[in-house]
Structure 1
Amino acid sequence: MAASRGILLDTGPLVAWLAEDEQFHEWAVEQFRQHDGALITCEAVISETWFLLRRMPRHLARLRAMLADGVFDLSFHLEDEAAAISALMDRYVNVPMSLADACLVRLSELHPKLPLVTLDADFKVYRRHGRQLIPVICPAK
C-alpha cells in the first residue's frame, strides 16, 4: 500500500545528513526537518551509505542506531520487484543506472505521491512507468 506522507530517500542526502562536513549537510538537515512521515528507502541505498561512511565510525554508528531504531521504512523487497528492476536497468543501461537508483525509481512507482530527496541529477533523466517525471527535491546548484 502506498504511503501518503513521507519521502523517498536516496544515498546522497542520507550521507549529507549524517556527516556534518558534507557540502549539502545543512540542506539535508532542513529536508528532514520539513518532512514528516516515513523515510522510505531500500537496502541498496543503506548499503551505499554504509560504504561511503565506512571510514567515519561516528557517522556509521549513527546510521546503525537509526537502523536499530527502525527509522527507515525498508519494506521494499528486491525479490518481489526483480522483473521491474531488471527492466529499468535494461532501459537505462547507457546512463548507467545503479541498483539503488533502479530501486528508488520503482519505489516512486509504488509511492507516486511521495517526492524523492536526492543529490543525483540522473533522476531528472529517469522516468517512472516509462514516461512520467519523478518528483524530486534536490538542492539548487
Structure 2
Amino acid sequence: MKTLRIAAALLTRADGKTLLVRKRGTEAFMQPGGKIDAGESAVDALVRELNEELGLVIAPEQARFLGEFSAVAANEPGFEVNCQLYGVHVEGVQDEDAVNPAAEIEEAIWVDGASIDPLHLAPLTRDSILPLYRRLQNGA
C-alpha cells in the first residue's frame, strides 16, 4: 500500500467544538489539513493548508504536536495516510461563518462529542483522532 504524508489539525474553539471538513465530491468528514510537500515541514504544511482551505491564518507556534497516526485513506484507494496531528485552538471563532471553505473543501462543520456519531467519517478521524478528541475533552 502506498503512503500519503499529511498534516492535520484537531482544531478546537472556546466552546470545545472541533472542526471537520468534507472535500468536494466525497462523503467522509475529516480534520482539516493536507499533504506535506517535498521539503516542507509538517507544521508548515498545516499552516499553508489551513489558510488555503479555510482562510484561517495561524502561526506555527499555535500548533501543538499531538502525535502520529496512520489509517487507510478515505478518498484515495490503495493508499494509507500517515498523519502528523496538531492541536490548534482558535479564539474568537464562535459561528459557522468564521471559516471559509475554499479550494477542494465543500463543507466545514463544528461538532462536539454528541453530534459526531451520525456523520460519515474518514477512518483516521473515526478510529484515532476523535477518540483522542474525546479523551482530551474529558481531561485525560
TM-score by shorter chain over 0.5: no
* TM-score, with length taken from structure 1: 0.29
More strand by share: 2
Larger Rg: 1
**Higher RCO (Cα < 8 Å, 6 or more apart):** 2
TM-score, with length taken from structure 2: 0.29
